[in-house]
Every structure is written in structure tokens, then in C-alpha cells.
Chain A
Amino acid sequence: TQLLEQSPQFLSIQEGENLTVYCNSSSVFSSLQWYRQEPGEGPVLLVTVVTGGEVKKLKRLTFQFGDARKDSSLHITAAQPGDTGLYLCAGDGNNFNKFYFGSGTKLNVKP
């Protein structure tokens, strides 16, 4: 059973489109991270959100942590082929240092 559910599982869009990826849970997390993984590589940390309601921006990427710290979203504006990859959310639960990863969203941005 996945503690963190991500949706959609797959997303294929044209360059220039906007998209939103969701990460949901019934559990509360002390912090939540978003990672991007490219084929043949390990996940790379994009951002960490800590405070309920927090919004962080990383160029064209906007991350939001839900008010209750149970969910998060990642919004990409004007997607580019370089954004292609597997996006993973991970929650830092009450268990010290134990990360729970979501199932991932596989994004393909076509030129």
C-alpha cells in the first residue's frame, strides 16, 4: 500500500503547455520533497516544503504544500522537453529520517 499517491501516473503533453501533478496522503508529514529522475540516473532533489500552505517557486516550477501537510502539488508552466522525467514526491514522516516515496508521475514533453 502506497502511503503517498501521485496522479496522474503518466502525462504526455506538447511543449509550451502547463501541467499539475498531485501528491496525496491521509497521513501528516513534517516535510515533503519533490524529486525528478531521468532514465539511468538516481532521483535528484528539486525542493523541500515544510510549512502548511507553503509555496515555493523554482523557475517555471511551483510547489505547494497543503494546509494540513497531507498533500502537495507541482505545477509546471510552459513545459519544455527538458522537463521530461519521473517526478516523485517523498514525505518525511514522524519516523525519524524515514522517507516514504510516492508512486511517481512519468512526464513526457514532446517538442
Chain B
Amino acid sequence: DAGVIQSPRHEVTEMGQEVTLRCKPISGHNSLFWYRQTMMRGLELLIYFNNNVPIDDSGMPEDRFSAKMPNASFSTLKIQPSEPRDSAVYFCASSHDRGRATEAFFGQGTRLTVV
């Protein structure tokens, strides 16, 4: 199994530009999560989907952030317009409900730098 695949691995963009991060979850997993990691705030949950439906987006910082999951094998996180404070590592994770315990598998992340 290829695991969770994220692209790009690194992104450098200028303030004000649109940024799109992509994620392919593990085949068969029915939940997908977008996290942001910074030194100051650690790992923060931005949004998660279950069966392609957004369940909780309360972690999305503001309207500049949006996420979609058009099908079970693809999700995007978009930032428009981007700002320097959005610089962070963005992780996508997927999981499969196993009853009492659910375990998340992470991609390698996208390191975003907004200058």
C-alpha cells in the first residue's frame, strides 16, 4: 500500500497568491483529516471528512481556507489569498473506522512558505 500521498512536498509562494494542497488517502479509508503543524501551536486539526462529507470544519482558521473532497480518493485544501502567517507544514491523514478505536495514518506533509 502506498500510504497517504500528499503533493507538493514543498511550496513557496508570494503573499496574496492562491495555494492548493492535494491529498490521496489510503484506499478503503472512510475518514480524511487535514492538520496544520507549527512550532508555536503544534498539530492542529483543520477539518475532517467522513465518507467524503465535511463533518467538522471548526478548526479552519478563516474564510481564506477551504477544503473539498469530491470523491473517496482525493481531497484538496485551498488557501486564497495566502498570508505569511499561513506558513506551516500541512498534513493529511486518513483512517478507517474500526469500532472502538480509530487510527490515523499520515502523509509526509506539505511544507508551505508564504513570503
A interface list, Cβ under 8 A from B: 2, 30-31, 33, 35, 40-45, 48, 50, 88, 90, 92, 95-104
Contacts and interface: CB of A to CB of B under 8 A. Distances in A.
A2 B48 CA distance: 19
B10 to A, nearest CB: 10
B106 A43 contact: yes
Interface stretch (B14-22, B64-72, B74-82, B94-102): B94-102
Interface of B: 4, 31, 33, 35, 42-43, 45, 48, 50, 55-56, 91, 93, 95, 97, 100-109
Given A98-B56, A103-B42, A104-B42, A31 B95 contact: no
Given A98-B56, A101-B43, A44 B106 contact: yes
Given A88-B43, A92-B101, 20 more contacts: A2-B42, A42-B91, A43-B43, A43-B91, A43-B106, A45-B104, A48-B103, A90-B104, A95-B56, A97-B50, A97-B55, A97-B102, A98-B48, A98-B55, A98-B56, A99-B33, A99-B45, A100-B45, A101-B45, A104-B42
Interface class of chain B by DSSP: strand
B59 to A, nearest CB: 10
B79 to A, nearest CB: 19
Contacts of A97: 31, 48, 50, 55, 95, 97, 102
B86 to A, nearest CB: 19
Given A97-B48, A97-B50, A48 B101 contact: yes
Contacts of A50: 100-101
The 10 tightest CB contacts between A and B, nearest first, are A42-B106, A31-B101, A101-B43, A48-B101, A97-B31, A103-B42, A43-B106, A50-B101, A42-B91, A42-B108
Contact of B105 (A45, A98, A103): A45
Nearest to A42: B106
A72 B31 CA distance: 25
A33 B107 contact: no
A21 B56 CA distance: 30
